[in-house]
Each structure stands twice: as C-alpha cells, then as structure tokens.
Amino acid sequence: MLRDVSGINSSTALWYTSRATGVVALLLMTAVVLLGLLVTRQGRLPGLPRFAVTGLHRNLSLIAVVFVALHVLTAVADSYVHIPLTAAVIPLASPYERLWLGLGAVSLDLTIAVVVTSLLRRHLSRRLWRGVHLLAYASWPVAWLHSITSSPDLRHGALFLLAVACALVVVLAVLWRLAAASRDVPRAERVGHLMSALHHPMSALHHHRAPNAPQSRAPERASRL
C-alpha cells in the first residue's frame, strides 16, 4: 500500500481517485441500502426521530451519487486505459474489462432510475415510484460484483474483508426485513389484533351491558393469528 501511495503522480492521480471514490461509493451505497431497509419497517436509530432516518437515507443516497459520479468520471478521464464515456451507462461498451465494467454500467443505470424517480416522486404514482425503487435491491449486488471483479484491490487484504463485511451486513438486513414482513398483521386485521390485546376491560363491558350489546369479534380473530 505504502509503495502505491508514494507512486501517486499527475498521471496516476486520476486512477487512484477513481478507485478510492469507488470504495467510498460502495460503502455509502451499503449504508443507503441498510437505511432503506430500516425505513421500510419505520425503524429508528438511537437518538434520531423516524423522519430523520428517512432523511439520512435520502441524503446519504445523494452523497453516494456524487461519489459514483466522481468514480466514473475519473475512470473515464484517466488516459492509462481507454474507457469511453458511453461505457459508463451502456453495458459492455468498454474495450477494457468489458464484462466487469459492464456490471458497473448496469448498476449505475439502475441507480439513476431509482434516484430520478425519487426526485420526481411528487409527480409519480406511489406504485410506479415503489416499483422502480425496488430496483435498488438489484443495483447493490451488481455494484458489489463490479467492485470485486474489476478491482484487484478488493480481492485481498483489508479491502476484501470490507467488501465481504458489506455483503454480509446487507444479506443479514434483508433476512431481517423478510422475517419482519412475515410477522406483519394485514391492515384490515390490525385493529382487532390490538383490541384483543386490550381485551380485559372490553370483556367487562359485555358483562355489564345488555345481552343484545355488540359482541366482540376480537378474541376469535386473535386465535386465528
């Protein structure tokens, strides 16, 4: 590492900038995905109100976009290998590392779709926005593969461990998200679910009231869940 750093000069600066911003972009995108998963469950971070978690998700994603842009532009501007600008968005358009840079282009395209629809969210239906936003789950693994495959740096040493840690955390978070969803009470049953939890004083009302008083359905429902 030290030798590499000392080798930075005007001709290698762009190359190193591109790699460094790429690593930071991967970290930021990992954080954005984790926060996104948290937001879907209306989860909270210690010391932050819910809206701040959403805000953090949104702002970090915009910062990630800046780093991805720097990563792509410096890679294109660097003259050591020829990467045409079109290769940034068109998969397989780069003569250098054709397939692995293609993954980067795919991930970038998906990210652009997610970011643009989120910026235009007010003008889109929720369904359309959500459908496109789900592409983030495809964008991240593709970006991760792109990181591992196109950079020898990430295949060993500390950066390899970092990449593995990122993948592990995202997989665990997705599993947590799916497990939480499976415990969800359907909207129409939520109230009854809660009412049955508060059943004790409610049943007292029935004893107190006339036989023609409305009967509680909540206990039955609870037994079904």
Partner 1 sequence: MTTATHGAPAEDTATSLPRLLPRSGQHPEDWHAHMARHGRLPYRDRPGDLILDLSAAGLTGRGGAAFPAHRKLSAVLDAADKRRRPPVVIANGAESEPASDKDATLLWLAPHLVLDGLQLAAEAVGAEAAILYTHTDRRNDVGRRLGQAIAERVAVGADRVPVQLAEAPPRFLSGQETALVSHLAGGPAIPTFMPPRITERGLAGAPTLVQNAETLAHMALIARHGPRWFRQVGTTAEPGSMLCTIRRADGTPRVAEVPLGMPLRSLIGDLGPDRAVLIGGYHGTWVPAADAMRLTLDNASLAAVGARVGAGILITPPPDRCALTETAAAVRYLALESAGQCGPCLNGLPRIAAALTEIAVGRQRRQTQADLERWAGLVTGRGACHHPDGTARFVRSALITFAAEIELHRRGRCSGTSRKAFLPIPRDSARTEEDWM
Token pair recorded at residue 39? 């937001």
Among 10, 51, 208, 223, binds partner 1 (CB under 8 A): 208
Q: Is 191 in the site for partner 1 (CB under 8 A)?
A: yes
How far is Cα 42 from Cα 80, in angstroms, rounded to an integer?
47
Q: Which two tokens stand for residue 208?
A: 């107190």
Residue 127 is a binding residue for partner 1 (CB under 8 A): no
Cβ-based burial of 221 (10 A; exposed 0-12, middle 13-18, buried ≥19) = middle
Smallest separation (angstroms) from partner 1 to the CB of 7: 57
Binds partner 1 by CB under 8 A, chosen from 1, 9, 47, 214:
214
Q: Which amino acid is at 214?
A: P
Binding of partner 1 by 194 (CB under 8 A): yes
Among 36, 209, 222, 225, binds partner 1 (CB under 8 A): 209
Find the binder of partner 1 among 43, 89, 221, 222 (CB under 8 A): 221
User: Three-class SS of residue 74?
Assistant: helix
**What are the C-alpha distances in Å from 154 to residues 70, 157, 158?**
19, 7, 8
By CB under 8 A, is residue 223 in contact with partner 1? no
Q: With CA atoms as reference, report the closest residue to 173 among 36, 34, 57, 28.
A: 34
Choose one: 11-19, 66-74, 176-184, 194-202; the region binding partner 1 (CB under 8 A).
Answer: 194-202
Q: Residue 203 CB, nearest distance to partner 1 (Å)? A: 9
CA distances from 42 to 9, 92, 129, 178, 191 (A): 47, 39, 18, 14, 18
Task: Please report, as ranges, the residues that interact with partner 1 according to CB under 8 A.
Answer: 186-192, 194-195, 197-198, 201-202, 204-205, 208-210, 212-215, 217-218, 221
